[in-house]
Amino acid sequence: MYTLKFDEDLCKTCTTCDCLVMCQYMDLDIDKAKEEIMKISEGEDSFVLQDCVTCYGCEEYCKRGNHPFYLITERREEKDILTSPRAITKQWINIGEPQGKYKVGEIKEKMLSFGFMPEFLRWVKGRLFEDIMPSFIFGQEFFCNVVYIHFANTSIIKERLPMVMDNFRKLGVKEVVCMHDECYGSFASLAPAYGIEVPFKPIHYFEYLYNRLKELGDEVRPLNIKVAYQRPCSSRLSPDKHHFVGDIMKLIGVDLVERRYSNKNSLCCGEVLRMASGYELANDVQKRNMDDMVDSGAEYCVFNCPACYAALAQKVAKKGIKPIHIIGLCRMAIGEK
């Protein structure tokens, strides 16, 4: 049985309670935050269990790495507090079920992981990936399963993620370049938090892109454009890799504009909010986020997560801002698009 590594004493001795105080969607002072996180820690009821929008932010805000969001998710499941209608939750559980329909490219010690997002099969091409393609993995058998913490369903993760690790182990892969934040977050944060062994070294694809751009050297031309970055909720599970956004922009001559909703204050794309909290909050968050992009003077909105792209690309375009995935932006910098 896999059990969350959570230290209640760390919560008791914390003096800032940043995990809840810094939340972008709930308004708690230090005293109230302390009271509520201790209730959650001790298995008691708390309004936080009802109001949490599953943005993952508290995982980043906790300075002690004590996994407050995973704890909130555990308690929600224990108390049968749904974050989405039961039918939608069941649908997502069925979508991610291993079905034996996975696809594996050329097996090497270093491979790309697409999870089961077909968008990456379309985006991953050109000089940036010529050193590793066609070595890739795609399908539910290699799916990270992190999405189920949006649905307060860690039991599914604890059941399926060890099987995913066994599938990687059977391939003999030594390094996995994760093309989605949730995959990297699963292998670098979630699995260790539950004591699930990871039989390979996970590599965030931002780090891979940055190193490839440096290798291409003189082929990189400054783009001289202003961009706003749409930070996805899943990147909260790997905040130590967020610096690569700025590093990549600097390398390709892009002005990453300063704005209110960036870095730790980023707002999610709104898609999860629509399921967890309804249309009113989701629409408000999207509007504030996009208005902030416009006010910053951004010419492009750079996306990381395919779900964020699907939720916001057309909407930012209507605001006069060009949507682009970060891979496309990097390809532009080497003259490919």
CA contacts within 13 A on the Cβ side of 173? 29
Predicted model pTM: 0.94
Say which amino acid occupies 241. Answer: K
Q: By three-state DSSP, how is residue 66 classified? A: coil
321/303 Cα distance (integer angstroms): 12
Residue among 190, 231, 183 nearest 204 (CA): 183
Query: What is the per-residue pLDDT for 100?
Result: 84
Query: What is the per-residue pLDDT for 209?
Result: 97
Query: What is the per-residue pLDDT for 277?
Result: 65
41/38 Cα distance (integer angstroms): 5
End-to-end CA distance of the chain: 49
Classified by CATH at the fold level, domain 220-333 comes out as Rossmann fold (3.40.50)
Query: What is the per-residue pLDDT for 276?
Result: 65
CA 15 distance to own-chain centroid: 28
Parts of the chain with a pLDDT under 70: 276-278
261/249 Cα distance (integer angstroms): 18
Give me 56's structure tokens: 């993952």
Predicted confidence (pLDDT) per residue in 281-298, tens digit: 889 999 999 999 999 999
Which residues, at least 6 apart from 159, have a Cβ–Cβ distance to it below 8 Å? none
Write down the domain spans for the chain: 8-78, 91-208, 220-333
